[in-house]
Amino acid sequence: MPLKTTNIVSAAQTKFGKLDGLTLREIFSEAVDKATVDAGVPKEDIQAAFIGTFIPEMLVHQGHTAPLLLDYAGLKGLPATRHEAACASGATALRAGIMAIESGIYDTVLVVGAEKMTSVSTNKATEALAAAADDTFESSIGLTFPGVFGIAAVSHMQKYGTTEEDMARVAVKAHKNASTNPLAQFQKEISLEKAMTPRYIAWPLKLFDCSPISDGAAAIVLTSAEKAKQYTDTPVRILGTGQASASMNLCGRKELTSFEASVAASKQAYDMAKLSPKDMDFAVVHDCFTIAEIIASEDIGFFKPGEGAKAVRDGVTALDGDKPINPMGGLKAVGHPVGATGVKQAVVIYKELIGEAGANQVQNHDTAIMHNFGGTGATCVVNVMRRADA
Amino acid sequence: MSDRPTIEEYRAKITNKQFQAYKCVGCGAVITPPSGTCYSCGNNEMDWTDVSGKGTLVSFTVIHIAPDEFVDEAPYYIAIIELEEGSRVTCRLEGFDPLKPEEVELGVPVSLTYITEGEKTYLAFKPT
Ligand SMILES: [Zn+2]
């Protein structure tokens, strides 16, 4: 059965990028204010908060972030829990919020994702990110995150004929979409030639196949169907949600050209929503690396296995294509403050569905799917959303 | 020392160049890297087993930008190997030029070896 009552009534993100001079709590607080008081949702109405942060312990030497951040944002006293699932931290916080509303325990809750990554050196940030892979059996022999997706790319190239140029086209599309997104880290188009610059990070992945290190936060307010209209004329319903896990180790998976947790979570979300990929107008997927977007576009059922690269080549996933993917610019060009990403994806879907995406507005915008996955793909969360009046 | 195989011992066997895998006492499935529960039958009793050392190359990458600890070793291969016994390992590759990855074919037969870098010993495979 579709979810009964969960609605998004406001959603906002901060600028993503290197936010010099701002600490985690300040960035967090800005996103909260934009999604509450600035959007006509009084803070007094919020009854609980679900917060995604990945690894502030290593990035800003701070644990127990939920109450700390909530206090700074003027919400001291509320139940506040931090959710961690690597790059899917934000979406697991969102799922906890969804379950809280569906259970009837609360009418209105806040979901926030945030990360401050640039106050440490790039090497330190990379080391922190590596904690999302299996330290004992993979990181300890020198496998890196780009390496994980390099392995997936090699398998996809071998099995389906996907090329480095196909992956570069994903980066070109991301930068093109982000060029008109004022909150993106990179608001600049890049040429295919530039995307192909052979600065290898983990062969066959090059510099422009990788998402950047970023600071940023995103926040959304969830409420019941009963209360939704008191905040907005255009609430967005969450109809289906799915979550699955898989082996952290790549060697523990039979399939390297698809992420089994993505496939499983997508099926759960579609089944719950009683909808299928053909009902989706667009998607926001986890493009931590270009190959990840190609594989995700197949795993969510937009394209058959092996046909994701062709869809990019043919412009099907472009902003003006039949199945736009990452219409605001994705992680690749908007930035990837890890804990914020899953919530930011919901912000993008909300803005697109209600027709407030400006220059990045997709043409058909009734129903969409978001796909957020963590680390090596060991966690995946998928949500299906539809504008309440659609 | 525990009666059961442990992860510490598994890693020590690699360091000592005497690689062994876990074997499920219930169904005989060979398991790498260690797991507390058999993927095939759910049994949680494990024993050690030798492996033939033969396998095939499933996939790989070449790490160019490495974490501090591995900078001096870059560029280097990381590969997924399927052992003849059916389970897979993530390991290093030897005998392939890291600057010519386009020449490496997936599915080629490989055999077990070790790579030593300073005080570290890695499980590795090389072309058979
Ligand atoms: Zn067994």
Q: What is the pLDDT of residues A285-326, one digit of tens each?
A: 999 999 999 999 999 999 999 999 999 999 999 999 999 999
Examine the pLDDT at B58 and tell me if it is beyond 80.
yes
pLDDT at A123: 85
Q: Dihedral through CA B113, CA B116, CA B121, CA B126, nearest 10?
A: -20
Active site (annotated) includes residue A210: no
Nearest-by-Cβ selection for B90 from A146, A154, A251: A251
Residue A336 among the catalytic residues: yes
The catalytic residue among A336, A365, A371, A380 is A336
CA distance A77 to chain B (A): 41
Residue B111 and residue B63 in one domain: yes
Angstroms from A161 CA to nearest CA on chain B: 13
Residue A194 CA to residue A208 CA, distance in Å, equals 8
Pick the CATH number of A6-121+213-236 from 3.40.47.10, 3.40.50.1110, 3.40.190.10, 3.30.43.10: 3.40.47.10
Confidence tier at B1 by pLDDT (50, 70, 90): very low
Mean pLDDT, range A233-242, rounded to an integer: 98
Q: Across chain A, what does the average pLDDT equal?
A: 97
Which residues in chain B have Cβ-Cβ distances shorter than 8 Å to A256? 58-59, 80
Residue listed under structure tokens 């934000």: A90
Beta-sheet strands, E only, within A80-199: 80-83, 108-115
B61-80 pLDDT, tens digit each: 999 999 999 999 999 999 99
Q: Is the pLDDT of residue B3 over 80?
A: no
The answer to whether A77 and A364 have CB atoms below 8 angstroms apart is: no
Domains of chain B: total: 2
Q: Determine how β-strand B21-24 pairs with β-strand B46-49.
A: antiparallel
List the single residue in B59, B63, B64 with the smallest CB-CB distance to A154: B59
pTM above 0.80, yes or no: yes
SS3 B123: strand
**Structural domain for B92, as ranges:** 54-127
Question: Quick one: pLDDT band at residue B2, thresholds 50, 70, 90?
Answer: low
Round to whole Å and give the CA distance between A389 and A387: 6
> Are the Cβ atoms of A202 and B68 closer than 8 angstroms?
no
Q: How many CB atoms lie within 10 A of CB A206?
A: 23
Q: Name the superfamily (CATH) of residues A134-209+239-333+354-387.
A: Thiolase/Chalcone synthase (3.40.47.10)
